């Protein structure tokens, strides 16, 4: 059993938030360069891009966490999903529920895939630069989920419990609740 207590070290959280900002900036740059190869991007001014990007990102956070809630409900029939917020990072979890590895990875990765593909489809028809900002901020927001997925991807991990204290990874030898 390995316990990953990501939310108790303020210094680690500060570094992680800095990494998120860097990923968002790189994502904006890469998406702009890629978009200009295939289409003409409708530019708004910089302030509107940031405003629309932040408003759209706030909506994406709600949709993202709603997707987690739906998937948690689907895989944890009896558990009730809850939200935790520490140091500005919002995550959802189901207390006292152990998930199979593939269930947990599906729950964590689904919002990234579905929302990013949805934004890509919208961008194909409406190529506004604010959509690049929204998608980039969402990718940065998904880094928390990707961190947990990367940790669960270990071949020895069989079960995962996401509790209020942190994420617990169970191996073959561990007794699961």
Sheet holding 98-100, edge to edge: 2-4, 167-171, 157-162, 98-100
Confidence at residue 173, expressed as pLDDT on a 0 to 100 scale: 67
Angle, to 10 degrees, between the axis of helix 10-38 and the axis of helix 143-152? Answer: 110
Cβ-contact 174, 1 below 8 angstroms: yes
Confidence at residue 175, expressed as pLDDT on a 0 to 100 scale: 61
pTM (two decimals): 0.84
Q: What is the DSSP string of 79-146?
A: ---EEEEETTEEEEE-TT-EEEHHHHHHHHHHHHHHHHHHHHHHHHHS-BHHHHHHHHHHHHHTHHHH
Q: How far apart are CA 85 and CA 90, in angstroms?
A: 4
Positions in the chain whose pLDDT score sits under 50: none
Cβ-contact 116, 135 below 8 angstroms: yes
């Amino acid at each position: 059993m390995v316990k990953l207590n990501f939310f108790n070290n303020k210094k680690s959280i500060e570094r992680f938030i800095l990494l998120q900002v860097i990923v968002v900036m790189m994502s904006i740059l890469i998406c702009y360069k890629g978009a200009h190869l295939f289409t003409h991007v409708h530019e708004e001014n910089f302030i509107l891009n940031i405003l629309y990007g932040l408003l759209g990102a706030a909506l994406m956070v709600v949709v993202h966490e709603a997707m987690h809630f739906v998937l948690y409900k689907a895989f944890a029939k009896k558990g009730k999903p809850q939200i935790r917020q520490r140091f500005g990072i919002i995550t959802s979890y189901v207390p006292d529920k152990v998930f199979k590895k593939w269930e947990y990875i599906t729950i964590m990765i689904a919002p990234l895939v579905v929302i990013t593909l949805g934004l890509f489809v919208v961008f194909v028809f409406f190529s506004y630069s604010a959509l690049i900002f929204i998608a980039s901020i969402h990718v940065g927001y998904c880094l928390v989920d990707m961190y947990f997925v990367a940790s669960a991807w270990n071949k020895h991990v069989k079960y995962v419990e996401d509790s209020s204290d942190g994420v617990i990874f169970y191996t073959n030898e561990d007794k699961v609740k």
